[in-house]
Amino acid sequence: MFRCGAEGCGKSFYVLQRLQVHMRTHNGEKPFICKEKNCGKKFTTAGNLKNHRRIHTGEKPFLCEADGCGRSFAEYSSLRKHMLVHSGEKPHVCGICGKTFSQSGSRNVHMRKRHGEEGLSSESRETGEALTQSSLLEADGENGDGMVTMTTTVEPMNLHHAMLRSPGRRDKRADGITTRLIMKRQQTVIW
């Protein structure tokens, strides 16, 4: 077992190379550089550079297939965040009034517009960042056809009402049903 020696970290890795890559987060080393004209952005891993290059190519291989949505994203993490719209989960909380949002950006706009100077402070945003444990943040796995499935609980009501539901109301719900949201990774060929 290889343990990170950085103060306050303590992460452990079974493979030395993973620890070495992790250490870049502490020492700021970013050896992978985007070679696109006028870019030059640097990354800690080749995988992060590969994901970044999609900005330049326009590739969006992660497709949302929930309820015929069809939106596509360059990064898997963006697709996961988007899926909150379909599940009705609202894990981002305003630290001042308690209103909940599916996207942190929407919460931040609310705090700035509704609460003015108080909403602009980073302390208020951090207080509101208490996230609920999202069932969408962990994939159930690939089924071999390039399909990734995620499971979430959606009440038997129309999607509009499900989207308005906040996490605090979950205790009071009637029997929920489990819905599988299916996302397909598209293959894009760039010539």
47 shares a domain with 69: no
The pLDDT confidence band at residue 175, using thresholds 50, 70 and 90, is very low
Two structure tokens written together for 184: 């397909």
The pLDDT confidence band at residue 120, using thresholds 50, 70 and 90, is low
What's the pLDDT tens digit per position in 73-105? Answer: 998 988 988 888 888 889 889 988 999 998 888
Distances (CA, A) of 119 to 78, 91, 168: 25, 18, 21
Average pLDDT, the chain: 71
By the 8 A CB rule, do 140 and 97 touch? no
User: Which helix (H) or strand (E) covers residue 29, if one does?
Assistant: none
49 shares a domain with 99: no
Classify the C-alpha dihedral 142-145-150-151 as positive or negative: negative
Residue the block writes with tokens 């909403």: 119
The pLDDT confidence band at residue 178, using thresholds 50, 70 and 90, is very low
pTM, entire model? 0.49
190 shares a domain with 154: yes
Across the strands, what pairs with 141? 149
pLDDT value at 19 more than 90: yes
Residue span of the structural domain in which 73 resides: 59-91+135-191
25 shares a domain with 100: no
38 shares a domain with 103: no
What's the pLDDT tens digit per position in 25-43? Answer: 999 999 999 999 999 999 9
What whole-number distance in Å separates Cα of residue 144 and Cα of residue 3? 34
Task: Give the torsion through C-alpha atoms of 114, 115, 121, 123, to 10 deg.
Answer: -100
Higher per-residue confidence, 172 vs 67:
67
What's the pLDDT tens digit per position in 39-54? Answer: 999 999 999 999 999 9
pLDDT value at position 146? 44
125 shares a domain with 105: yes
Q: What is the DSSP string of 18-38?
A: HHHHHHHHHH----EE--STT
72 shares a domain with 166: yes
Output the domain CATH number for residue 26: 3.30.160.60
Distances (CA, A) of 188 to 33, 63, 143: 23, 12, 20
By the 8 A CB rule, do 33 and 22 touch? no
